[in-house]
């Protein structure tokens, strides 16, 4: 990400505010677009991203007075056409519609939840309402889950995705929900065979959240889905791999077996680091040679142990190769940059360890000295 880049300024700014105001002004002649724009911009710039969403929703509330049943037709008339239904992935929509979700929560959560859910199903076809749906799961769980069951067969894949994404246990930026982790699983049961990657990616991310607390719950489910055979083999294999990515990094034995990798496979591994010392901001270069007596699939990762300023150490796992051994030696080469200017991870000089993981097991280890 370039220095000075501001996501909040890219997503919520004068141009975007004017676009939203224009939609309402076109649909509602009495809507005071210029005043709305002025009020939004008067308080927008000092705020962080989520606060900007809430602020725009608050200002919009002043310009759309009345109960939800009165303003719902106004919202619907202001919406642009739904996102392109011919696409199947990577079509998140425009963030400027996120405030509509917060507006609907504020106006309809207590007074008119059924109409509010109707509106969220419409707005999510312009921008995902995954954050706005979560208060309804907390306040009206039975109503919302029943509606979500209907949405699993909705013609818009954006609405179908909302079912999975909105119920994620660890949704980024999302309000916590009080549902048991197993409660949405019947919904995921319907969605795992969805024809669109946008939906199946959400299912996989949902399951990856659950693996942090209950890996066996996820693995039982995935094995059952494989037995059902409702999803195409290639897509289901991708979904399982994506859902289990955290478990794979952790070397979870049952997960690796579900994916078709044997943690106990006999593999001879040699690791050679090309230089004894590496400077911060330079590259660590190493080679790994793997040999197996017979052909077998392998996931090869490497784990680096980093000393911390406190005297402790932390580790990070990185992907190297997912491949198959065929009874002959296979050599893999890697250049890993040790960035000194990373914003989330600070390097410290000292002895660093590199471990090679094959199907989740440590198979070789060497070390190098990191210097300023």
Task: Render pLDDT for 199-230 as a digit per residue (tens, 0 to 9).
Answer: 999 999 999 999 999 999 999 999 999 999 99
| Secondary structure (DSSP) of 111-136 | T-HHHHHHHHHHHTTTB--TTTTHHH
CA nearest neighbour of 132 among 154, 156, 153, 113: 113
pLDDT (tens digit per residue) in 334-363: 999 998 877 777 899 999 999 999 999 999
Check residue 310 and give its pLDDT: 87
Check residue 338 and give its pLDDT: 93
Segment 233-256 mean pLDDT: 93
pLDDT (tens digit per residue) in 6-23: 889 999 999 999 999 999
Asked if residue 170 has pLDDT above 70, the reply is yes
Q: Assess contact for 288 and 271: CB atoms under 8 A.
A: yes
Domain boundaries along the sequence of the chain: 66-258, 268-371
DSSP 93: B
Q: Can you tell me the distance from the alpha carbon of 120 to that of 133, in angstroms, rounded to the nearest whole number?
A: 7
Q: Can you tell me the distance from the alpha carbon of 115 to that of 120, in angstroms, rounded to the nearest whole number?
A: 9
Check residue 5 and give its pLDDT: 64
Select the CATH number that applies to the domain covering 66-258 from these four: 3.40.640.10, 1.25.40.290, 3.40.50.20, 3.40.50.620. 1.25.40.290
Check residue 3 and give its pLDDT: 45
pTM attached to this predicted model: 0.88
Q: Assess contact for 247 and 255: CB atoms under 8 A.
A: yes
Q: Can you tell me the distance from the alpha carbon of 357 to that of 8, in angstroms, rounded to the nearest whole number?
A: 39
| Secondary structure (DSSP) of 326-359 | -SS-EEEEEEEE--SS-SS----SEEEEEEEEET
Select the CATH number that applies to the domain covering 268-371 from these four: 3.40.50.300, 3.30.365.10, 2.60.40.10, 3.40.1710.10. 2.60.40.10
The answer to whether domain 66-258 and domain 268-371 are alike in fold is: no
Mean pLDDT across the chain: 94
The structure tokens listed for 84 are 């392109």
pLDDT (tens digit per residue) in 274-328: 999 999 999 999 999 999 988 899 999 999 999 998 889 999 999 999 999 988 9
Asked if residue 91 has pLDDT above 80, the reply is no
């Amino acid at each position: 990400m370039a220095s000075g880049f501001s996501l909040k300024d890219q997503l919520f700014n004068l141009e975007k505010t004017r676009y939203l105001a224009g939609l309402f002004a076109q649909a509602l002649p009495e809507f005071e677009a210029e005043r709305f724009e002025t009020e939004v911009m008067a308080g927008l710039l000092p705020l962080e991203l989520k606060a900007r969403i809430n602020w725009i929703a608050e200002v919009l509330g002043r310009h759309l007075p009345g109960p939800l049943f009165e303003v719902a037709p106004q919202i619907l008339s202001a919406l642009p056409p739904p996102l392109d239904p011919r696409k199947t992935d990577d079509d998140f929509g425009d963030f400027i519609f996120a405030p509509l979700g917060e507006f609907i929560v504020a106006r309809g959560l207590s007074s008119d939840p059924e109409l509010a859910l109707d509106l969220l199903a419409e707005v999510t076809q312009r921008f995902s309402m995954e954050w706005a749906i979560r208060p309804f799961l907390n306040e009206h769980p039975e109503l919302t889950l029943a509606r979500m069951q209907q949405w699993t067969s909705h013609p818009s894949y954006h609405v179908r995705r909302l079912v999975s994404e909105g119920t994620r246990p660890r949704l980024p930026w999302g309000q916590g929900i009080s549902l048991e982790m197993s409660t949405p699983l019947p919904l995921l049961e319907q969605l795992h065979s969805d024809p669109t990657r946008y939906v199946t990616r959400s299912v996989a991310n949902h399951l990856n959240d659950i693996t942090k607390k209950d890996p066996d719950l996820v693995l039982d489910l995935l094995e059952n889905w494989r037995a059902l055979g409702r999803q195409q083999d290639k897509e289901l294999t991708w979904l399982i791999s994506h859902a289990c990515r955290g478990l794979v990094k952790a070397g979870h034995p049952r997960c690796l077996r579900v994916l078709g990798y044997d943690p106990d496979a006999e593999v001879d591994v040699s690791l050679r680091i090309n230089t004894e010392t590496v400077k911060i901001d330079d590259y660590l270069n190493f080679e790994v040679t793997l040999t197996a007596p017979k052909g077998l699939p392998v996931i090869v990762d490497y784990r680096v142990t980093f000393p911390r300023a406190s005297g402790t150490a932390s580790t990070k796992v990185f992907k190297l190769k997912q491949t198959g051994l065929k009874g002959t030696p296979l050599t893999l080469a890697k250049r890993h940059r040790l960035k000194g200017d990373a914003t989330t991870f600070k390097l410290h000089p000292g002895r660093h360890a590199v471990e090679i993981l094959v199907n989740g097991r440590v198979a070789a280890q060497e070390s190098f000295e990191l210097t300023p």
